[in-house]
Amino acid sequence: MRILHTSDWHIGRSFHGHATLDALRGVLDALVAQVRVHEVDVVLLAGDVFDSAAPAAACYGVLTDALAALSGTGATVIVTSGNHDSAARLGFQSALLRDGVHVVTDPLTVGTPITVADDHGPVHFYGIPFLEPALVRHLWPDAELRSQRLTMEHAMGLVRADAQTRGGRSVAIAHCFAAGVDATPGVEREIRQGSLDVVPLAAFDGPDYVALGHIHGRQQLSPRVRYAGAPLHYSFGEADKPRGSWLVDLDADGLAGAEWLELPVPRRLVTIRGTLDELLGDEAFASAADAWVCAQYTDGTPQPDPMRRLQTRFPFCATVVHTPESVRGDGGLTYSRRVREARSDAELVDAFLVHVRDGEGASAREAEVVRDVIDERSLAEATA
């Protein structure tokens, strides 16, 4: 049996204020083509289908078209909900979906598989929707569900018990933060609260393959436990992480192998760094003209209107950050001490600039202007 593992579509997420629906449509078209070319039997979408609990109307069209196209290849499609999804909204029409498309959002279905057979017999697919402990605790009153770790361990216990009864091969699909992953800072923290919500790798013992979602980059925790990541880049922190999905093969004995399938990147992400004048004029940055750009300008002081100026050269400049290359050391002096030790008005002004500029005093030109102003004031006071 051939399986395609994808996740974290985040339909509706913007990229620094820019819509991504058209780009995502194109990438999902490529994914559908891969399913067809590689004769995939089952497609697994492991959560975070939408980016919010209340997606805009256009988002439903993207999902509907993608599911219809995947189903049209002849593959069975199994979708589970993630922490960004509203299980109710994602699953409201599950009973009306065409044959071969399954949307798993009900916690009470955990441990009840969707079974697909091949020449070697049945394969049992156990979808585990995202389980918020506080919301599902009442469903299993005899279980201790104080954290997502405990909740996921309970869910996997149900999976193993059922799989043992049925026999044959099995696959689990879940959305969680597993121990040992390399997360993207600022992107994938929503379901982690210290060590309690990190799910240990041992929790996933049993199935022949475990398709995980939540982490936006490709990760292999073991040969049989993997993250596929998101099909689009949704932050500059993900720029170096490839986009794609896992093509997984099962034989009569279980996992036979997994191959990474690259997806196209609609627009690459680039971080450029230099003074504002260098960014605007240096030919070394010319190749970034057609990329999403994070510009870090290193001038000692903030420059006027940097975004507008940079977008004249980089039309897809999405964010601008002021990151001074270096600042003059303050010698450990406090602002009040620097003021007390100032021996002239010019030094007093310089002490103020060092304080408000995180250690950088007046430039040579600024010092000249300060001296001229002070001299003019002194002359005016002397002749008054």
Phi first, then psi, for residue 196 (nearest 5°) are: -65, -30
Q: What mean pLDDT do residues 161-175 have?
A: 96
What pLDDT does 325 receive?
A: 72
| Among candidate residues 9, 63, 6, 1, the one with its CA nearest the CA of residue 250 | 1
- Dist CA 128 CA 175 (whole Å): 8
Bigger pLDDT: 233 or 374? 233
What pLDDT does 324 receive?
A: 85
Residue 281, token pair as written in the block: 């004029």
Residues 27-59 as b/e (b if ≥16 CB within 10 A, e otherwise) read: bbebbbebbeebebbbbbbbbbbbbeeebeeeb
End-to-end CA distance of the chain: give it in Å, rounded.
96
C-beta of residue 23 within 8 angstroms of C-beta of residue 233: no
- Residue ranges covered by each domain of the chain: 2-262, 269-322, 335-383
Q: What mean pLDDT do residues 47-62 have?
A: 90
- Dist CA 116 CA 145 (whole Å): 31
Second CATH level (architecture) for the domain 2-262: 4-Layer Sandwich (3.60)
What pLDDT does 184 receive?
A: 67
Which segment of 70-79, 85-94, 112-121, 168-177 scores lowest on mean pLDDT? 85-94
Q: Can you give the pTM of this predicted structure?
A: 0.81
What pLDDT does 146 receive?
A: 87
Residue 183, token pair as written in the block: 């997360």
Q: Sign of dihedral through CA atoms 40, 113, 142, 137?
A: positive
- Dist CA 67 CA 77 (whole Å): 8
**pLDDT of 80 over the 70 cut:** yes
Q: What mean pLDDT do residues 66-95 have?
A: 82
What pLDDT does 90 receive?
A: 73
In the structure, what pLDDT confidence band is assigned to residue 54 with cuts at 50, 70 and 90? confident
pLDDT, tens digit, 9 for 90 and up, residues 87-139: 667 766 555 566 789 999 999 999 999 999 999 999 999 999 999 888 899 99
In the structure, what pLDDT confidence band is assigned to residue 359 with cuts at 50, 70 and 90? low
What pLDDT does 126 receive?
A: 98
Bigger pLDDT: 339 or 300? 300
